[in-house]
Amino acid sequence: MSDPMRIRAQSSAGQTTVRVLMSHEMETGLRKDAAGKTVPAWHIQDVVASLNGKQVFSAEWGTAVSKNPYLQFIIKGGKAGDKVSVTWKDTKGEQRTDEVTVN
């Protein structure tokens, strides 16, 4: 089970800025471990986010996104008390969803 995402969603001047720090190895498939064996690629492939249950954001990522990925996007509208939920799915089929309240 992966560590929780750290999500901040702040509403100001009619928009909500969402910052996410995810916990994931994001292996490129190019690295060799201490024994010299190539570590297989393993990375977050799809990210979606919703505001109050409605999907507002989606992205596709390759192996080049850094380990423990950082993401920032800006929702039009949104206000304190709204719910922002972020979900990632990786190449092993694992997924994780975390939710936060806008402040």
CA distance 21 to 72: 9
Alpha carbons 47 and 18: distance in angstroms, whole number: 13
Is 11 a binding residue for other proteins by CB under 8 A? The answer is no
Shortest distance in whole angstroms from residue 51 CB to other proteins: 7
Give per-residue burial for 11-28: e unless 16+ CB within 10 Å, then b: beeeebbbebebebebbb
Task: Please identify which residue in 5, 7, 9, 71 interacts with other proteins, judged by CB under 8 A.
Answer: 71
42 binds other proteins (CB under 8 A): no
Q: How many Cβ atoms from other residues are within 10 Å of residue 53's Cβ?
A: 7
Q: What are phi and psi of 55, to 5 degrees?
A: -65, 130
Is position 73 an interface residue for other proteins (rule: CB under 8 A)?
A: yes
CB nearer other proteins, residue 69 or residue 102: 69
Nearer to other proteins, 65 or 102 (CB): 65
- Which residues in this chain contact other proteins in the complex, by CB under 8 A? 15, 28, 30-32, 45-46, 51, 54-67, 69-77
